[in-house]
Amino acid sequence: MRALVYPAPGKAEIVEAESPTAGPGEVVVRSRVVGVCHSDLELLAGRYIIPVRYPVTPGHEWAGEVADVGPGVDDFEPGDPVVGECVVGPGGRDHFGFSIPGAAAEQFTARAEWLHKLPAQLTFTQGALVEPFSVAYAAVRAGAIDPSDRVVVLGGGPIGLLSAMAAVGRNAAVTLVEPRPDRRAKGAELGIHAALDPAAGDLAGQARELTRGELFDVVIESAGHPEAMAQALTLAGHRGRVVYVGIDVGSKVPAELGLIQARSLRIQGIVGSAGVWPQAIRFLASGVVDPTPIVTARYPLRDAPAALTAAALGSGNIKVHIEAFS
């Protein structure tokens, strides 16, 4: 079979590999759609948040169908459409597609306990968006968003747009903060109520004008830029909830920490989406939102290295998918 492999940092190749077999408790999955995440590019560059050994097959945003099951697997059978979680193993010490081989191959193995059946209402394209949507859904749950809330999302990348979409699905009034006009336009397509351009200056002033001085009930920071992470505090109104889902490691930037007490803010950071996959899948299966419009490019497996280039920052794409695995 063919697989996308990073033999070493900075290198991506399509290689011929042995087809996997299912051991006890394992499932062999036939890939149908695999999304390219910014973390896949970080892995390619030799950077990731946990130790990784090369060569490695990436691919943690995926949907596929069961090809075979190993001994002791009773909940799945060949032909079942499935998706799978990324942070796995005891204590979440392993990351699928990073410390263990991922889904960017014609077939791969996964532990049965990592998998969820994909409802008939969802396509494989939607299934491959479950992983990033589950992160956005976890952020919205952390913010305890309901229809009374005014929500602002900082950052119009995939997680930001999906967070905005999940908040729209909860009937909240959602504002997107994003410098790129194409991503602000995509937000409007997904149902946001307003968009602000941070490059226009005085973002807090723009927010006060939009909200008649009251600012926002919930702030979701998804950009992961230190300046945006500090600015999130300035956009939260009295008793506001600030949820940090964007990731930055090691950077330092001045922040108005006095706002935390002056406005009685509640602040929460989240990493990943463990524990919310069944709810996120049911949310998508309800049909209240459809995440597929964020997919802006599709490539066959044979052109997967080009898909990585297309997913790089500055390419103009939002979410790139690898399809046509056979």
* Domain residue ranges of the chain, discontinuous segments joined by +: 2-129+291-323, 135-269
Task: DSSP for 15-67, please give it.
Answer: EE-PPP---TTEEEEEEEEEEE-HHHHHHHTT--SS---SSB----EEEEEEE
**Please, how many CA atoms are within 13 Å of residue 175, restricted to the half-sphere of its CB?**
25
Are 279 and 255 in contact, with CB atoms under 8 Å apart? no
At residue 183, what is the residue type?
Answer: R
Instruction: Give the full edge-to-edge strand order of the sheet including 150-154.
Output: 194-196, 173-177, 150-154, 216-221, 236-244, 266-269
The per-residue pLDDT for 314 is: 72
- Give 2-129+291-323's CATH code, choosing from 3.40.50.970, 3.90.180.10, 2.60.120.680, 3.40.718.10: 3.90.180.10
Q: Which of 224, 236, 164 is nearest to 194 (CA)?
A: 164
The answer to whether 79 and 31 have CB atoms below 8 angstroms apart is no
All residue ranges of the chain with pLDDT < 70 are none
CA 205-176-41 angle, 5° bins: 125
304 HSE (CA, 13 A, CB side): 31
pLDDT confidence of residue 183: 95
CATH number of 135-269: 3.40.50.720
Tell me what the pLDDT averaged over the chain comes to: 96
Structural contact between residues 320 and 29, judged by C-beta atoms closer than 8 angstroms:
no
pLDDT of residue 247: 85
Nearest Cα neighbor of 290 from 130, 174, 71 is: 130
Token look-up 């939102």 returns 289
Q: Hey, do 2-129+291-323 and 135-269 end up sharing a CATH topology, with the first three levels equal?
A: no
pLDDT on residue 249: 77
Q: Is the dihedral of CA 106, 325, 95, 72 positive or negative?
A: negative
Residue 233 is predicted with a pLDDT of: 98
Residue keyed to tokens 């920071």: 221
> How confident is the model at residue 17, as a pLDDT?
94
288: which DSSP letter?
S
**pLDDT at position 250, please?**
82
What pLDDT was estimated at residue 22? 98
The predicted structure's pLDDT at residue 234:
97
- Note the pLDDT of residue 248: 84
Question: What pLDDT shows up at residue 267?
Answer: 98
